[in-house]
A = this chain, B = another copy of it.
């Protein structure tokens, strides 16, 4: 955490999406003894690529490599930064903070969103925080600074990209039912979709591989299992 190891004035924040219980959820950190909630973020080392810094942070918080990751906006308003907030966090962790500490400066933040398989993640807090947990999008705690805005822009970008990119492959396990895939789309779009239309559209896109049926033990026809081709 000492000065000169990281680029000053530059940070990143990540909106990490997972899917569980038919809901879209994101990872939120809680800082020690402050009641402050924040997106997982971090800094860029002097000799480190920006994208590599974000992947390093994701690895630390989720334990996962090779995450689907997309940069979507850089937040650079002066007003987004209040130096008092960071001072509170550092002092609550027992650091004595000089007035000119580099972490109290103004920061620009490059924001990314990530899509991961919920079941494979072990959320891990960092040194400054006492928890790192999943929160459903409609039950987020109040977030510090402009992090709420960052989440909303991430979700908007994800919606805009939904038709162009293969989103499901990153949020679902290797085998899944058509109904589960539909629930992912509904959670992202925030609206119900027609079952039959959805099924035909997905099949027509020709990226699904059909496998044996799954017998759920329920009193109805067993659904096929699917995986993503290639």
| A49 pairs with B71, CB closer than 8 A | no
Q: How far is it, in angstroms, between the C-alpha of A61 and the C-alpha of B183 when the chains are bound?
A: 50
Q: How far is it, in angstroms, between the C-alpha of A145 and the C-alpha of B48 when the chains are bound?
A: 18
Residues in chain B near residue A44, CB distance under 8 A: 76, 108
A67 on the B face (CB < 8 A): no
A141 on the B face (CB < 8 A): no
| B76 pairs with A106, CB closer than 8 A | no
A47 on the B face (CB < 8 A): yes
Which B residue's beta carbon lies closest to that of A161? B160
The interface stretch among A5-13, A85-93, A114-122 is A5-13
Which B residue's beta carbon lies closest to that of A47? B78
Q: How far is it, in angstroms, between the C-alpha of A7 and the C-alpha of B79 when the chains are bound?
A: 15
A22 on the B face (CB < 8 A): no
| Listed A/B pairs (20) with beta-carbon separation below 8 Å | A7-B106, A9-B9, A10-B10, A44-B76, A44-B108, A46-B106, A47-B78, A48-B78, A49-B76, A49-B79, A50-B74, A50-B75, A50-B76, A50-B77, A51-B76, A51-B77, A71-B74, A74-B74, A74-B110, A160-B164
